[in-house]
Structure 1
Amino acid sequence: MAEMEKGDGPPAEQGDSAPAGQRDNSSAESRRGRLGQLMHEHPVRVLLAAILVGAVVCAGVVGLFGGFDDAGKVQGDEIGDAKPTAEATPFSKSQAGDCLTWPPEDPTRQSLVDCNAEHMFEVAGAVDTSVYPGVQFGEDAPWPGDDQFATIRDEYCPTVVNTYLGGMLDPVGRFTINLMFPAQEQWIDGERSLRCGLQQSGTTGTLQPITGFVRDLDQAQQWPVGTCIGIDAATRKPTDPVDCSEPHAFQVTGVIDLGVKFGAAGSGQPWPNVDAQNEYLETTCPGVTDQFLGGTDKLAQSTLNLQWSTLAETSWMAGSRTSVCYIGLPDADGFATLVGDAKGSLLINGQVPVPPPAEPPGRIIPTPVPLPPGVEPNPLETPAPAGGGGG
């Protein structure tokens, strides 16, 4: 579970199933360390997972595909009383471990692909609709609608997915459980296939492509170094990745593998508590951030704060090991609005950041105290400190 540093909060919530064809779903002492007093004064205590995954609104992707007709069977088992209507589609032929994708501009062109290639949905298994009364999934049954499909998802998909992953699902990671179901038009044509599976989506409901099997991936929230995460103008909370020239909440400066310090996934090493993670990241994130920005003074010049995410025990037990270092500025129970790359031209809430005054050199020679009239200075004497006695 990727948390705001030292933050606590609710886990990400799954969004409601959508009708097919309509929706996808520094302190003065140290500017680089933990937020400390600043976080106390600006309590942006929001989980990264909650604010960045947000509501998942993608159930019903199947309906976007159009023209489903799987002859009423999945792996040889009857789906209600559906009758054959046309050739099977990639969706209706999919089984656990298969991956589906489609062009963003044309979801109707779904296809089965190797899961090591980019895809939009990893199938964990089919829903056995035979457990429902025939009247619900029979040939003449009315389209169940959003609420019923959401109920089916919530009742069956967590078990299907957790069984598929062997119980290794990060409950607040970047992958979420959902259900693919037929749109009303496909239902009328006899389509009754339902698939539980995994997807990756942001707060706006836009699906992000997945590469690889979820079981082989680190499930913690993470983005490539340099990525800027958008901001909601109303709530001042982070949203989804955007171009850095667009308004955003923070920018990623490093991705840290906590497994290097505390044990890789599968090693059996116990969860390092948040204090231990913070202690390690306090010595790690500053260095990678200086490297990203191109100098040890660049962070201070930006006036931004360095922060990082930590992992909850449930996420650690599921195999997540990734922490993200990022720079932003707490503001009004959220984040200040940044525009521009922190390595170049940057605006904070529409203003050019004003760096703090440079610190004085390490040794200051005070101005000598004027000597009394007629007294010549002794060149071997050290000038008296300002405010001290005369020479």
Structure 2
Amino acid sequence: MSDESHHEHPGPEGRSDDPGWARRNSMRIVLVAIVIGALVAGGVALSMNAFDDRGSVGGTDIGESERLAENAFTQSSSGDCLTWPEGDPGDPAKVVCTDEHRFEVAGALDTAVLPGSEFGDSAAWPGAQRFAEIRDEQCPVIVDAYLQGKLDPQGRFSVGMMFPSEQQWGKGARELRCGLQVTGKDGTPQLFSGKVADQDQSFQWPAGTCIGIDPQTRRVATPPTAVNCSEPHAFQTTGIVDLAPRFGDQTSGRPWPGEKEQNAYLTTICPGQAERFVGGKKKLEDTTLNVQWSVISEPRWLAGSRKVVCYLGLPDRGGFATLVGDARATVLINGKLPVAPSQAPPGRALPTPVPLPPGVEPNSQEAPAPAG
């Protein structure tokens, strides 16, 4: 990303020779780096916490002395979609993938690749933590082969693994299944429809969605999760932009448009979209929030992702300012009402710069823009 790749509403003049413009432009790079850090970290966290013991295949109604009964999990194979009532994965059902489900099976994990003593008939149940280690070691390869290398590394789907509960293990269950899921804020799989390979893997929050914030790091919560706007949040979306009509869909074969090219295009869309979202230019300026947007990195482009998000937020001490409220009505910034910038005197055409929080300095370290 160069200094030309600014993501800030530059004001009426839009000139790089405006003394304040360069600083505001470098601030955009700071916030972009913050968001990508949060989302990449979120991607790692999704993989690390995809399935805890609540995500294991729990007990059935068969007797303690009986062997494991076959079910949709034990009979599942690559491409199958499984679902279960929220919080109760003990007896999953196979469904058509166009219906809502919680897990798409990428493939079975051959336990022969693991230490034999761990999966022997008399072996003790490995435990959720060991299953998590096995998932991180083995499942990415299986998922990569299943999707033919087209998993968006910063998208909304994460790698997971279904494993037997301690009760089922005691009845002889040893099956493991690697697959894909959308992970909620409590680490459990959420409902989604359609096969992963057939859809855009970008985060696609509707306009007006508020995305939670981690109060300790002031970064986007892990995983990135929609919250009620009356709760603390990092930013609020103003809409989704599909880059496919401008740059080509995943079947077009067109090369990745660089960040500079995407930024030039989104500069013509997101600021105007933000004004319409809040109800006009003056109302947007009065919020003192910055207009932001994401761009798509080359690995995400090759995975087929084409949708980016426009949003409103404000940088603060290496992260985001904490917002509470809807930007279209009343929003608090770090617990305080925003102070609207003063208006230019009549007859003078002066820009209205977006105020920056104290103590935030330009960052010379550039980073790819956030996942959409």
TM-score range, shorter chain: 0.7 to 0.9
Q: Which residue of structure 2 lines up, in the alignment, with residue 340 of structure 1?
A: 325
The corresponding residue for 2:40 is: 50
Tell me by how many angstroms 1:55 deviates: 0.7
Residues 1:67 and 2:56 aligned together: no
Are positions 1:235 and 2:227 aligned together? Answer: no
Mapped to 2, the partners of 1:330 and 1:49 lie a distance apart of 16
Question: Is the 2:210–2:228 Cα contact (8 Å) retained in structure 1?
Answer: yes
- Residue 89 to residue 31, structure 1, CA distance change in 2 (3 Å): farther
Which residue does 1:225 correspond to in 2?
Answer: 207
- Measure, in 2, the Cα distance between the counterparts of 1:6 and 1:162: 34
Alignment partner, residue 310 of structure 2: 325
Q: Shift of residue 260 of structure 1?
A: 1.5
**Residues 163/252 of structure 1: CA separation in 2 closer, same or farther (3 Å cut):** same
- Identify if the C-alpha distance between structure 1 residues 30 and 104 changes in structure 2 by more than 3 Å, giving closer, same or farther: farther
Correspondent of 2:163 among 177, 181, 191: 181
Matched, 1:95 2:77: yes
From the CA coordinates, give the structure whose radius of gyration is larger: 1
How far off its partner does 1:294 sit?
2.1
Name the aligned partner's letter for residue 194 of structure 2: G
Q: Which runs of 5+ in 2 are unaligned?
A: 15-20, 350-372
Which stretch shows the higher mean deviation, 329-338 or 219-228?
219-228
Cα contact 1:303–1:353 (8 A) shared by 2: yes
Distance across 2 between alignment mates of 1:40 and 1:213: 35
The residue matched to 1:277 in structure 2 has which SS?
helix
**Aligned-partner SS, 1:230:** strand
Provide Cα deviations, 1:197-249, integer angstroms capped at 9, x if missing partner: 01122565253322211001111233121110011111111112100111111
Structure 2-normalised TM-score? 0.79
Q: Is residue 2:251 matched to residue 1:262?
A: no
Structure 1 residues 208 and 306: alpha-carbon distance in aligned structure 2, compared to 1, 3 A threshold: farther
Q: SS of the residue aligned with 1:122?
A: strand
User: Whose helix fraction is larger, Structure 1's or Structure 2's?
Assistant: 2
Structure 2 counterpart SS, 1:211: coil
Measure, in 2, the Cα distance between the counterparts of 1:165 and 1:224.
27
Task: Report if the CA contact (8 A) 2:52-2:187 is conserved.
Answer: no
Write out per-residue CA displacement over residues 77-123 of structure 1, whole angstroms, 9 at most, x where no aligned residue.
xxxxxx98142122112221111222224343532222222222111
CA gap of 1:31–1:41, structure 2 versus 1, over 3 A, is: farther
CA contact (8 A) 1:236 1:335 kept: yes
C-alpha distance in 2, partners of 1:128/1:164?
A: 15
| Distance 1:68-1:181 versus aligned 2 partners, 3 A rule | farther
1:138 CA displacement:
2.2
Which residue of 19, 23, 36 corresponds with 2:25? 36
Q: Could you tell me how far apart the structure 2 residues matched to 1:114 and 1:227 are? A: 29
Residue equivalent to 2:173:
191
- Given the alignment of the two structures, is residue 306 of structure 1 paired with residue 262 of structure 2, yes or no? no
Higher relative contact order (CA 8 A, sep 6+): 2
State the 1:363 CA deviation.
Answer: 5.9
Q: Find the aligned partners of 1:40 and 1:138 in 2 and give their Cα distance.
A: 53
Q: Among the aligned pairs, what percent are the same residue?
A: 49
> How many residue pairs are counted as aligned between the two chains?
330
Deviation at 1:178, TM superposition (A): 1.8
Whether 1:142 and 2:127 are equivalent positions in the alignment is no
Mapped pair 1:157 → 2:139: yes
Q: CA RMSD in A?
A: 3.0
Q: Trace 1:329-368 onto structure 2 (pairs within 5 A).
A: 329-362=314-347
Residue in 2 aligned with 1:291? Answer: 276
Larger mean CA deviation between 205-214 and 144-153 belongs to: 144-153
Q: Distance between the aligned counterparts of 2:68 and 2:30, measured in 1?
A: 63
Give the CA deviation at 1:186: 1.7
Deviations 1:19-66 (A, max 9, x none): xxxxxxx57746999961333677853415325445121235675441
Q: Which one is further off, 148-157 or 286-295?
A: 148-157
Task: Summarize the Cα distance change of 1:134–1:333 in structure 2 as closer, same or farther, 3 Å threshold.
Answer: closer
In the TM superposition, what are the counterparts of 1:5-16 in structure 2 within 5 Å?
Answer: none
Q: Does 86-95 or 105-114 show the bigger shift?
A: 105-114
Q: Secondary structure at the match of 1:326?
A: strand
- The answer to whether structure 1 residue 282 and structure 2 residue 264 are counterparts is no
Q: Distance in 2 between matches of 1:204 and 1:307?
A: 28
Distance 2:188 2:177 in 1: 19
* Structure 2 Cα separation of the partners of residues 51 and 223 of structure 1: 19
Task: Please list every run of 5 or more consecutive structure 1 residues that lacks an aligned counterpart in the other structure.
Answer: 8-25, 71-82, 365-391
Change (3 A) 1:168 1:108: same
Preserved contact between residue 102 and residue 181 of structure 2 (Cα < 8 Å): yes
Contact in 2 for aligned 1:53/1:203 (Cα 8 Å) = no
Cα distance between partner residues in 2 of 1:51 and 1:31: 37
Query: Which whole-Å CA distance do the structure 1 matches of 2:270 and 2:30 have between them?
Result: 22
How far did 1:148 drift?
A: 3.9
Deviation, structure 1 residue 133: 5.5
Q: 2:183 aligns with which of 201, 205, 209?
A: 201
For normalisation by structure 1, the TM-score amounts to 0.76
Question: 2:61 and 2:118 mapped to 1: Cα distance?
Answer: 18
Indicate the residue corresponding to 1:376 in structure 2: none
Q: Partners of 2:100 and 2:302 in 1: how far apart?
A: 26
